[in-house]
Chain A
Amino acid sequence: MIKAKEPFRFYTRLHLSELTGLRAVTLGQLLKLIKRVPGSCIYHHTHRFLQQHQYLSPEPPNDFAYWVTEVLGEDRLGERLASIDTVQFPTIHSLREKIINAIEEYLRERPFSRIKFANEGEAFHFVKSASFVMPTKYISNNLFEFAEVLKKITIDSIYFHIFESRLRLEKHTNDFSNWLEDSLGEKDLADEISHLDPYTHTMEDLRETIVNLIEKRLLKED
């Protein structure tokens, strides 16, 4: 078994939701606020659903898509927002731009949609995420240990290494692929993992997929 140049330390990231007091009851207001809320708000509303509903549909809509569809009844816009390919956007800034463009384009086609009101009690409330990153006690020195830890670590930890590092901390790939390539020379495996679209897996499914890829690689070694 090849020993890694640098051991992999698993971190975890926990988040606490912070209220902003900002709310929208029309699509026009939603758009205006999406343009000016902090990046941690955009992050929250495009990633929360994924984390809080990880056992459910493997294609989780973001909060904007959900609200526009379920509350305003704008199904077409909802579909456009839900299908935004989050994985392609390297920064929150570019993701925000994409969301803004989708809504603006839709409003140009259907100007009356701007003034449709949400029912009482169904306003969109902007929330942001405060993230706390900390090292766990789990460390792996080789591929075998890595797979073993992956099986038992929290979903929050997997989430941190796959999503948080890539998008919010603006690294270009996920931490797992980074380490596999740099410290173990496992370029193929690293590529396979970075080519997964993590936004279309449930978190448990993602864990299983990555563990399977590593175990397949370990079998070859035997």
Chain B
Amino acid sequence: MPRLEEYISIVGLSIIDDLKLLSEKLKGKVIQNINSTSVGGGVAEILNRMVPLLRELNIDAKWEVIKGGEDFFEVTKRFHNALHGREEEITPKDFDIFMEVSQRNIEDMKLYGDIIFVHDPQPIALVKNKSRIPDSKWIWRCHIDVSNPNMRVWNFLKEFIVQYEASVFSSPSFAQRLPIRQFLISPSIDPLSDKNKELPDNIIHSVLKKYGITKDKPIITQVSRFDYLKDPLGVIEAYRRVKKYIDCQLVLAGGTATDDPQSEEVLNKVKEKAGKDKDIHILLIPPKSDMDINALQRAATVIVQKSIKEGFGLTVTEALWKAKPVVASAVGGIPLQIKHKYSGLLCHSIDGAAFAIKQLLNSPSYAKKLGENGREHIRQNFLLTRHIRDYMLLFLSMYHNEDIVYL
């Protein structure tokens, strides 16, 4: 795993110096992270990188995982969907299961942090134990898009949220009316991970070869799981409108084996819509193939993210970091990353997407400029080092209420 020093060549020495300065101000504080799983999923991925780097900064960061059986995680999965605004039937029994398991964790889990940093809804009820650890500061980190949540689930969780000192959301549109402080911390990508590190041309070529793609015409690429919310059918439609004028190919790359029963259905519809077009490549990327994704993104001429709903949109972050011109819907966290005509093009419809793709394919120098701006924007705002900095500031703000804090 890369060490802090290795980030200097990417973000500069002074940024790393700032991290060290900040970490000194947190000396002696124990930060106890709690989530529901140590492997799989975005939260575990972030903690796996974050905890060692915080430790390298001499911050006593710990990480614990709650226990829960199949029915518990079945319930929390449905909570998750409902918070995303999806139709879900939640029964009183679901709430009972949630509380039962939570109660067991409340009794079993050893809590000792100066700051207890709870991630997502699964461990949220642990806060009932707050009074047992005097002077502890509790932060609830919400990684979910709650811009339009199912109110029954939200109100249930809210009973716990209000007992925390602060909450953290990923996008301004996720903010809620809450009596506690709410911070905005965007997620980040790790520029040294397999998915984002620089790749030599021969690796990119071999990945293209593996998936049967040649670079003889421009490549339009969307990387996303096969989900209606990512609108892969709309992407095919946009591609067809572009194809009338510019000979190009489309790559739709997404994971298989998700726990989403709908993905099979979406995938079949995508295949059906693609028909016999040899220039449409529908790729099922096996798990743990981050380097393949990296190569496919780097091989693209234009990257599309035509989502109907989106959390933060880390695939957009990944594309911009590779200095790719991006066409993306103005939803979720995407507008934080793309300022229209500065660092990419935003769209609201299939026609809009098709028009923007044509523009970029026909004006390579404009496309290149947008891509370069995008990369610098990500370097400044959405890399792991900024994320660590924000977390340290968040921890410090537990001890300061002022708008301007002198450390």
The verdict on A16 contacting B13 (CB below 8 Å), with A52-B380, A56-B377, A119-B348 known, is no
Residue A18 at the chain B interface, CB threshold 8 Å: yes
Bound together, the chains give a CA A13 to CA B340 distance in angstroms of 29
Kindly list chain B residues whose C-beta atoms are within 8 Å of the C-beta of A154. 12, 14-15, 17-18
A55–B403 contact, CB under 8 A?
no
What are the interface flags for B171-186 relative to A under an 8 Å C-beta threshold, 1 for contact and 0 otherwise? Answer: 0110111100111110
Q: List 23 A-B contacts (CB under 8 A).
A: A12-B21, A14-B18, A14-B389, A16-B394, A17-B184, A18-B181, A19-B182, A23-B175, A38-B403, A52-B377, A52-B380, A55-B373, A56-B373, A119-B348, A123-B173, A125-B175, A131-B405, A132-B22, A132-B405, A134-B407, A136-B17, A153-B14, A154-B18
Query: Which single residue of chain B is at the shortest CB-CB distance from A132?
Result: B405
Residue A174 at the chain B interface, CB threshold 8 Å: no
Residue A108 at the chain B interface, CB threshold 8 Å: no
Residue B330 at the chain A interface, CB threshold 8 Å: yes
Among A16, A19, A136, which residue has its beta carbon within 8 angstroms of that of B172?
A19
What are the interface flags for A108-136 relative to B under an 8 Å C-beta threshold, 1 for contact and 0 otherwise? Answer: 00000000000101110101111111101
Nearest CB of A to B27, in Å? 14
Residue B152 at the chain A interface, CB threshold 8 Å: no
B169–A131 contact, CB under 8 A?
no
Bound together, the chains give a CA A152 to CA B176 distance in angstroms of 40
Nearest CB of A to B328, in Å? 13
Kindly list chain A residues whose C-beta atoms are within 8 Å of the C-beta of B403. 38-40, 128-131
Kindly list chain B residues whose C-beta atoms are within 8 Å of the C-beta of A131. 403-405
Query: Which single residue of chain B is at the shortest CB-CB distance from A40?
Result: B403
Interface residues of A in 1-25 (CB under 8 A from B): 12, 14-21, 23
B175–A21 contact, CB under 8 A?
yes
Q: Which of A19, A38, A152 has the most CB of B within 10 A?
A: A19
Residue A53 at the chain B interface, CB threshold 8 Å: yes
What are the interface flags for B344-365 relative to A under an 8 Å C-beta threshold, 1 for contact and 0 otherwise? Answer: 0000100000000000000000
Residue A215 at the chain B interface, CB threshold 8 Å: no
Among B18, B183, B348, which residue has its beta carbon within 8 angstroms of that of A18?
B183
Kindly list chain A residues whose C-beta atoms are within 8 Å of the C-beta of B21. 12, 134, 136-137
| A contact set with B: CB distance below 8 Å | 12, 14-21, 23, 38-40, 52-57, 66, 70, 119, 121-123, 125, 127-134, 136-137, 152-154, 156-157, 168-169
Q: Which of B335, B390, B394, B403 has the most CB of A within 10 A?
A: B403
Kindly list chain A residues whose C-beta atoms are within 8 Å of the C-beta of B14. 152-154, 157
Query: Which single residue of chain B is at the shortest CB-CB distance from A22?
Result: B175
Number of interface residues of B (CB under 8 A): 47
Bound together, the chains give a CA A137 to CA B17 distance in angstroms of 9
B393–A21 contact, CB under 8 A?
no
Interface residues of B in 98-117 (CB under 8 A from A): none
The verdict on A56 contacting B339 (CB below 8 Å), with A19-B172, A121-B331 known, is yes
Bound together, the chains give a CA A86 to CA B335 distance in angstroms of 24
Residue B156 at the chain A interface, CB threshold 8 Å: no
A133–B405 contact, CB under 8 A?
yes
Kindly list chain B residues whose C-beta atoms are within 8 Å of the C-beta of A54. 380
Nearest CB of A to B8, in Å? 12
A130–B13 contact, CB under 8 A?
no
Among B22, B175, B340, B377, which residue has its beta carbon within 8 angstroms of that of A14?
B22
Top 7 A-B residue pairs of the complex, sorted by shortest distance between their CB atoms? A125-B172, A19-B175, A55-B376, A17-B184, A134-B407, A19-B182, A154-B14
A21–B380 contact, CB under 8 A?
no
Nearest CB of B to A100, in Å? 21
Q: Which of B147, B404, B406 has the most CB of A within 10 A?
A: B404
Interface residues of B in 2-40 (CB under 8 A from A): 12-15, 17-18, 21-22, 25
B172–A132 contact, CB under 8 A?
no
Kindly list chain A residues whose C-beta atoms are within 8 Å of the C-beta of B330. 121-122
Query: Which single residue of chain A is at the shortest CB-CB distance from B372?
Result: A55
Kindly list chain A residues whose C-beta atoms are within 8 Å of the C-beta of B331. 121
Among B22, B184, B373, B397, which residue has its beta carbon within 8 angstroms of that of A19?
B184
A70–B340 contact, CB under 8 A?
yes
Residue B282 at the chain A interface, CB threshold 8 Å: no
Residue B291 at the chain A interface, CB threshold 8 Å: no
Residue B381 at the chain A interface, CB threshold 8 Å: yes
Residue B343 at the chain A interface, CB threshold 8 Å: yes
Q: Which of B340, B343, B394, B407 has the most CB of A within 10 A?
A: B407
Query: Which single residue of chain A is at the shortest CB-CB distance from B382?
Result: A52
Bound together, the chains give a CA A50 to CA B13 distance in angstroms of 22
B178–A21 contact, CB under 8 A?
yes
B184–A130 contact, CB under 8 A?
no
Query: Which single residue of chain A is at the shortest CB-CB distance from B346?
Result: A70
A55–B377 contact, CB under 8 A?
yes
Kindly list chain A residues whose C-beta atoms are within 8 Å of the C-beta of B178. 21
